[in-house]
């Protein structure tokens, strides 16, 4: 009897605890959930609706034109040019940036003196604003007075017109962006490297594996998750490149640096084709999603093979 009573009381208390826990859970999560609802979920849905409109963003009665914005996009040479140039930007930037970052991280991981000092130097461009460094690099890339050509001449290399030449403007932006971002990847690679147990390398050395084979068969495979993380974030970031284009080239010369977000900005906020710009955003969203999922799948398959 007494025992039963105690059990009932505990379970009642437990139920109260449980319900109290639910309430706390919902209350603590609510503010952020509300934020996401208002400022992310709703805008995403709303922009899908916007992408079916022919609207300047001002007039009281926008016309619904269905999928015509998307159709129109396909006929626009500038859309394709922007997409292609964004693709070149990604392909030119991401592999170089990752390879450099990995090489630097491996070198820095050799227990050399001054690690913290070097790491700080390499990280400095990451913390400064893209607008500010863009302005500095305009002046560096100046074909007549800039340091870039001076350095090339120092090594007896041919000089360049950098941002003034349609053929080199986009590569110049890539060079500058590598400089700005390599320190970030390097720092993350360093963290990944420090997570690899040294006993693995010792065992490999006893088995007679040279440094290259150790790198190829221990370092690279064990850094796979790190590389994947960097690859995905780097591609998503590169697909959204805007600040440096806006400040350094305004899409020029001869639209050679039109990238997709710059195109979107011009359409939406200079020509006020809001519906069309929303449709553009959705296409970029879809492409980035597909890319991410493909990489994910690719990595998954790789893991099962290994």
Q: Measured from the CB atom, is 150 or 298 closer to another protein?
A: 150
Closest approach, Cβ 118 to another protein, in A, equals: 6
Within 1-60, the residues that bind another protein by CB under 8 A are 21-22, 24-29, 31-33, 35-36, 39-44, 46-47, 50, 57
Per rule CB under 8 A, is residue 128 in the interface with another protein?
yes
What is the biggest distance separating any 2 CA atoms in the chain, rounded to whole angstroms? 98
Closest approach, Cβ 195 to another protein, in A, equals: 8
Closest approach, Cβ 263 to another protein, in A, equals: 10
Closest approach, Cβ 4 to another protein, in A, equals: 26
Per rule CB under 8 A, is residue 296 in the interface with another protein?
no
For the chain, the residue count is 306
Within 174-213, the residues that bind another protein by CB under 8 A are 179, 183-184, 187-188, 190-192, 194
- DSSP-assigned beta bridge partners for residue 53: 64
Q: Which of 137, 168, 234, 255 binds another protein (CB under 8 A)?
A: 137
Within 152-181, the residues that bind another protein by CB under 8 A are 179
Q: Which of 73, 93, 94, 133 binds another protein (CB under 8 A)?
A: 133
- Segment 239-244 long-range contacts (CB within 8 Å, at least 24 positions apart): 239/86, 239/90, 239/284, 239/287, 239/288, 239/291, 240/284, 241/86, 241/89, 241/173, 241/177, 243/130, 243/131, 243/134, 244/130, 244/134, 244/137, 244/173, 244/176, 244/177
Interhelix angle 130-140/169-194, rounded to 10 degrees, is 130
58 phi, psi to nearest 5 deg: -115, -50
Q: Which of 94, 174, 231, 281 binds another protein (CB under 8 A)?
A: 281
Q: Measured from the CB atom, is 4 or 155 closer to another protein?
A: 155
Per rule CB under 8 A, is residue 122 in the interface with another protein?
yes
Is 158 in contact with 97 (CB distance < 8 Å)? no
Q: Measured from the CB atom, is 125 or 251 closer to another protein?
A: 125
Is 65 in contact with 275 (CB distance < 8 Å)? yes
Q: What is the DSSP letter of 54?
A: E
């Amino acid at each position: 009897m007494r025992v039963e009573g105690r059990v009932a009381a505990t379970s009642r208390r437990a139920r109260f605890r449980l319900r109290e826990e639910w309430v706390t859970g919902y209350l603590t999560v609510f503010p952020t959930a509300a934020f996401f609802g208002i400022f992310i979920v709703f805008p995403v849905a709303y922009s899908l609706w916007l992408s079916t409109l022919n609207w300047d963003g001002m007039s009281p009665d926008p016309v619904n034109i269905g999928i015509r914005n998307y159709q129109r996009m396909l006929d626009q040479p500038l859309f394709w040019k922007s997409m292609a140039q964004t693709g070149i930007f990604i392909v030119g930037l991401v592999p170089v940036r990752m390879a450099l970052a990995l090489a630097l991280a491996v070198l820095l991981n050799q227990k050399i003196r001054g690690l913290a000092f070097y790491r700080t130097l390499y990280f400095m461009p990451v913390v400064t604003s893209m607008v500010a460094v863009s302005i500095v690099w305009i002046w560096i890339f100046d074909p007549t007075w800039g340091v870039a050509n001076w350095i090339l001449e120092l090594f007896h290399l041919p000089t360049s017109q950098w941002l003034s030449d349609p053929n080199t403007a986009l590569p110049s932006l890539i060079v500058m962006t590598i400089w700005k971002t390599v320190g970030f990847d390097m720092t993350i690679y360093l963290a990944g490297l420090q997570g690899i147990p040294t006993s693995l390398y010792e065992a490999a050395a006893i088995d007679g594996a040279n440094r290259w084979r150790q790198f190829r068969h221990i370092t690279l495979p064990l850094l796979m998750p790190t590389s994947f993380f960097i690859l995905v974030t780097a591609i998503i970031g590169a697909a959204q490149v805007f600040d440096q284009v806006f400040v350094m080239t305004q899409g020029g010369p001869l639209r050679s640096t039109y990238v997709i977000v710059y195109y979107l900005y011009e359409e939406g906020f200079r020509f006020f084709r809001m519906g069309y710009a929303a449709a553009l955003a959705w296409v970029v969203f879809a492409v980035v999603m597909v890319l991410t999922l493909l990489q994910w799948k690719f990595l998954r398959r790789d893991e099962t093979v290994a």
